[in-house]
Amino acid sequence: MLHGQRRIQLGRLEREAMRAAGRFNGQLMDYVRPFIRPGIKTAEIDQMVHQYTIDHGHKPATLGYQGFPKSCCTSVNDVICHGIPGDYVLKEGDIVNLDLTSIVDGWHGDSSETFLIGQVTDEARAVTQCAFDSLYAAVDAIHPGCRVSDIGDAIVAVAGRFGFSIVREFVGHGVGQSFHQEPTIPHFPNRPSRHERLLPGTCFTIEPMINVGARYAVTDRLDGWTVRTKDGSLSAQFEHTVLMTEDGPECLTHSPGGPARGHRF
């Protein structure tokens, strides 16, 4: 998903609009959660996401976005991101990232979660834990006026402890009335992120993608969307939409039924 729109700092009413979008996205994740189990097709998950969103008067942001054909992304095992829901049937031992983005009264809520399908390998559990811990370490590392690179520094530290790699081709992003806008939020420190600061009113995603093997990614040449690890290793991701307030970061897409900070998989 490309971005690059201008950066926007939100006022009071705009922040409330983003909170509403985030709440619905978390609610949607909790609605689908019980159905993500062995035997379900990823297309069935997509249909549930689509119907629930429409029934509540909102729009699935991914549907038709730059030609994407579905209402959510389902990325299984070695798929890093942008997995297209289809005929694949989830089976015992899989991991799957469900990435949801909802448009609520013109504002976007964006989050994702990796699910363990039944009994999984220790490796699958570890990469999922690493992605989850990386997200919350990044949230805990930031404060009003901090450098964007504080996010990358925190994620690098967690991934290093696990011995896993961080995808660099895909990053977090500003979000609001546009799906993708400035600032760019890399999950590793680089020169631009050392200079960019997160001021109050900035709304953005943090969405570290963690690979068991090498960090490199390849995009499917047939569908133009599905991104896999180059070496076939497992990949996991968690994402929240975050609003930087005057008092610190606020996660807008919390799912009450999902894993809370400190959860062990």
- Give me the DSSP letters along 54-79: HHTT-EETTTTGGG--SSSEEEETTE
Q: Please compute the mean of the pLDDT values over residues 118-128 and round it to a whole number.
A: 98
Whether the Cβ atoms of residue 137 and residue 144 lie closer than 8 Å to each other = no
Give me the helices (H) in the chain, please.
Answer: 12-32, 42-55, 122-141, 149-162, 191-195
How confident is the model at residue 2, as a pLDDT? 40
DSSP state of 199: -
How confident is the model at residue 20, as a pLDDT? 98
Please check the confidence at residue 92 and state whether its pLDDT lies above 50.
Answer: yes
Domains and CATH numbers, the chain: 12-251 (3.90.230.10)
pLDDT tens profile 163-222 = 999 999 999 999 999 999 999 999 999 999 999 999 999 999 999 999 999 999 999 999
Q: What percent of the chain has pLDDT over 90?
A: 97
Q: Which residue, 183, 184, 185, 140, is CA-closest to 158? A: 140
Please check the confidence at residue 1 and state whether its pLDDT lies above 70.
Answer: no
pLDDT band at 8 (very low <50, low <70, confident <90, very high): confident
Please check the confidence at residue 4 and state whether its pLDDT lies above 50.
Answer: no
Please check the confidence at residue 76 and state whether its pLDDT lies above 50.
Answer: yes
How confident is the model at residue 7, as a pLDDT? 63
Please check the confidence at residue 3 and state whether its pLDDT lies above 80.
Answer: no
CA distances from 56 to 11, 51, 52, 105 (A): 26, 9, 6, 11
Whether the Cβ atoms of residue 217 and residue 230 lie closer than 8 Å to each other = yes
How confident is the model at residue 53, as a pLDDT? 99
